[in-house]
Amino acid sequence: MPESFIDFFKSSFRPKLKEKKKDNYLLHIGLFIVTFITTTIAGVEWTTGRLGPYEIETLLKGLPYSISIMVIISFHEFGHYFAARYHSISATLPYYIPFPPISYLINFGTMGAVIRTRQRIYSRKAMFDIGIAGPLSGFAVCLVILIYGFINVPGIDYILSIHPDYFEPEFGKNGLSLVFGDSILFTSLKAIFTDHSKYFPPMTEIYHYPFLCAGWFGLLITSMNMIPVGQLDGGHIAYTMFGEENSYKVSVIAFLILFVVGLVGIVDGALELGLGIGWGGWLFWSLILYFIIRLKHPPVPDPVPLSEGRMFLGYLSLLIFVISFSPAPIMLTLP
């Protein structure tokens, strides 16, 4: 009897303990749909400057922005996902994170998306591939969207349809101006692909142009993820490239730079120094990195170094981080 009971226990329960967790497809699809809706509404607000409620015809104007944003996020997260599958690492499908476009707040309609690996990664090569596949995939499509946006900037009539008094002397003198900060890459693409004989909007109006707004946002989230700290994508890459000790030094240096840039932004805004080289959001992000994500990457017990090809991609990703990073990405300025 005891042996039979033990056999029954083994056959009945052990397979269930080993059974792989399955994705909740309804949850993933639901989050995708809700995020698509919130980004579409955000796209209408960004591009038209109008608040809801909206008619269907007006909502259609938000699609270029929302589709661009969703494509960038999806390529990023599925880059991680398929890299994990390639290395036989169990991972969830992307969880899209919607954010309702609340009036008078700077809101892109989403807080991005995440996937979660269901098991520990013991291979340095696998960790590198999973870490880098996301940002490289998202960056590639972001680059395409930005180039398309720069080549197809609409004429002056477009901005006048949003601000009929745009060229009047009194325009913008009675309120705050929202300024999107430049990055090396954004400035370079603008110089290469725009027609300098035609009108091009200043950074105080760039958010009205859906492809440029989505591409700019893509560069922002790429740079945030590529910071070589802890378990960010950049942290995975730095750890697998440089090892535990050196990657921790890089992480500390990156954190300190981010903290200082954020602090300078707050001081600049509070004292109205007009430096324009810092952003309080970077201070907030640095504190999240320090207290929640942590600076030190968890150990990966694999002494095998990366191949030369992967090291090249790693240095390329660091370059992408540098040219995508904006010290002051979002500023509110007085006239």
Q: What pLDDT score was predicted for residue 276?
A: 75
Q: What pLDDT score was predicted for residue 54?
A: 87
Poorest-confidence range of 274-283, 288-297, 319-328?
274-283
User: Do 151 and 189 form a contact (C-beta atoms < 8 A)?
Assistant: no
Confidence of residue 334 (pLDDT cuts 50, 70, 90): low
Q: Is the pLDDT of residue 10 over 80?
A: no
DSSP label of 61: G
Element (H, E) at 2: helix 2-18
Sign, CA torsion 241/245/250/252? positive
181-208 per-position pLDDT tens digit: 999 999 999 999 999 999 999 999 999 9
Residue 83 or 11, more confident: 83
Which among 85, 76, 94, 154 has a CA at the least distance from the CA of 320?
A: 76
Sign, CA torsion 84/85/88/92? positive
Compute how many other C-beta atoms are within 10 angstroms of the C-beta atom of residue 154.
13
User: Do 39 and 104 form a contact (C-beta atoms < 8 A)?
Assistant: no
Q: How far is the CA of 105 from the CAs of 62, 238, 247, in angstroms?
A: 17, 35, 36
228-270 per-position pLDDT tens digit: 999 999 999 999 999 999 999 999 999 999 999 999 999 988 8
CA 1 – CA 89 distance, rounded (Å): 40
Mean pLDDT over residues 54-81, rounded? Answer: 96
Confidence of residue 17 (pLDDT cuts 50, 70, 90): very low
Confidence of residue 105 (pLDDT cuts 50, 70, 90): low
Residue 101 or 43, more confident: 43
Pairing mode of beta strands 177-180, 95-98: unpaired
Q: What pLDDT score was predicted for residue 4?
A: 39
CA 141 – CA 156 distance, rounded (Å): 27
33-42 per-position pLDDT tens digit: 999 999 999 9
How many Cα neighbours within 13 Å face the side chain of 45?
19
Q: Is the pLDDT of residue 27 over 90?
A: yes
User: Do 222 and 135 form a contact (C-beta atoms < 8 A)?
Assistant: yes
Structure tokens, 84: 């994990």
Q: What are phi and psi of 240, to 5 degrees?
A: -70, -25
Mean pLDDT over residues 83-87, rounded? Answer: 97
**Helix, strand or coil, per DSSP, at residue 98:** strand
Query: CA end-to-end span of the chain, whole Å?
Result: 86
Mean pLDDT over residues 211-224, rounded? Answer: 96
CA 293 – CA 254 distance, rounded (Å): 14
Compute how many other C-beta atoms are within 10 angstroms of the C-beta atom of residue 191.
10
Structure tokens, 53: 């409620």
DSSP label of 178: E
Q: How far is the CA of 14 from the CAs of 8, 17, 18, 55, in angstroms?
A: 10, 5, 6, 56
Please identify which residue in the block is written with the tokens 């000790």: 245
Confidence of residue 326 (pLDDT cuts 50, 70, 90): very high
CA 110 – CA 101 distance, rounded (Å): 9
Q: What DSSP letter does each residue of 198-250 carry, written as one string?
A: S----TTTGGGSHHHHHHHHHHHHHHHHHS-STTSHHHHHHHHHHHHHHHHHH
Q: What pLDDT score was predicted for residue 109?
A: 95
Q: Is the pLDDT of residue 2 over 60?
A: no
Q: What pLDDT score was predicted for residue 335?
A: 59
Percentage of residues of the chain with pLDDT beyond 70: 92
Compute how many other C-beta atoms are within 10 angstroms of the C-beta atom of residue 241.
23
Residue 301 pairs in a beta bridge with none
Q: What pLDDT score was predicted for residue 13?
A: 38
Q: Is the pLDDT of residue 176 over 90?
A: no
Percentage of residues of the chain with pLDDT beyond 90: 78
**Helix, strand or coil, per DSSP, at residue 114:** strand
Mean pLDDT over residues 78-83, rounded? Answer: 98
User: Do 97 and 136 form a contact (C-beta atoms < 8 A)?
Assistant: no
Task: Look up the pTM and report it.
Answer: 0.91
124-175 per-position pLDDT tens digit: 999 999 999 999 999 999 999 999 999 999 999 999 999 999 988 888 777 7
